[in-house]
Chains A and B, each alone.
Chain A
Amino acid sequence: GDSVTQMEGPVTLSEEAFLTINCTYTATGYPSLFWYVQYPGEGLQLLLKATKADDKGSNKGFEATYRKETTSFHLEKGSVQVSDSAVYFCALSKPTGGFKTIFGAGTRLFVKA
C-alpha cells in the first residue's frame, strides 16, 4: 500500500545551520505531497505542498521539490532559527472518492541558540 518514510529524529542543529529532512514515498497514481509542522501543544499546520512532479513548494524559507523519479520530497531550509523547533511531518494525499492522507512518522527538530 501507499506509505511515507521520513528520516528518524531527533535532529539537533545550531541556529543558522542548513536543514534537510528526508522524505520518500511509495504510492500508485499521482499523489499530492505535503509538509506539515506541529509546534508543542498545537495541532498540525500546513507548511508547504506540491501537487505534481517537479513542483516546488515553499513557505517561510522552507522548500521541497516533488521528485517523481526518486519518489522524494525532501524538506530544506538554508538557515534555521530557534523558533523552527517543532515536529515536521511529510504526507501524501490521493483522491480516492474522498481524500485519504498518509503521514510519515514525523521528525523532531531542535534548534539551539
Chain B
Amino acid sequence: DSGVTQTPKHLITATGQRVTLRCSPRSGDLSVYWYQQSLDQGLQFLIQYYNGEERAKGNILERFSAQQFPDLHSELNLSSLELGDSALYFCASSVEIIDTQYFGPGTRLTVL
C-alpha cells in the first residue's frame, strides 16, 4: 500500500458525459501527478501540481482539467468523454517537486 488513495476504483459512463476522479496523496506529500495508461498510448504524464499550483503539463487534452485543493487532495475532471478516453488513470504523489513518486491503485474509466 503506497498511501495514495484514488476513488472511484471503477467508473463506467457514456460518451459526452463528464466525470471527476479523486486522489488523496500520502500524508505530508505536497506534489500530485496525474497519468493516463492505455493499451495504445502506454503511460502518459498529464499534469503535476505542487502545493495547490500547477507546475508541469504533459499530454493533457483541453477537455481535461485538474486542480489541487488546500487540503492537498486533487481532482481530475474529464469532460465530453470519448471512447478513446477509456483507460486507467493513476495519481502519484511526492514530498517535493523532484522526488520519488508513489502511485495510487488507479481508477479504471470505461466510456461506452
- Taking residues whose C-beta sits less than 8 angstroms from the other chain, chain B's interface range is 20 to 34
- Quick one: given A43-B4, A43-B106, A106-B42, are A99 and B48 in contact (CB under 8 Å)? yes
Q: Number of contacting residues on A, CB 8 A?
A: 23
How many A-B contacts at CB < 8 Å in the complex? Answer: 61
Contact A96 B56 (CB under 8 A): yes
Within 8 A of A (CB), among B92-107: 92, 94, 97-106
SS class, residues of chain B in contact with chain A: strand
With a cutoff of 8 Å between Cβ atoms, the chain B residues found around residue A97 in the complex are: 55-56
Contact B103 A43 (CB under 8 A): yes
Contact A95 B98 (CB under 8 A): yes
Neighbour of A103 across the interface among B45, B55, B98, CB < 8 A: B45
- Quick one: given A96-B56, A106-B42, are A101 and B33 in contact (CB under 8 Å)? yes
With a cutoff of 8 Å between Cβ atoms, the chain B residues found around residue A106 in the complex are: 42-43
Cα A55 to Cα B41 in complex, Å, equals 30
By beta carbon, the residue of chain A nearest B54 is A98
Contact A99 B103 (CB under 8 A): no
Name A residues whose Cβ lies closer than 8 Å to a Cβ of B: 32, 36, 41-46, 49, 89, 93, 95-106
6 A/B residue pairs, CB under 8 Å, sorted by A: A42-B105, A43-B106, A45-B103, A46-B100, A89-B43, A100-B56
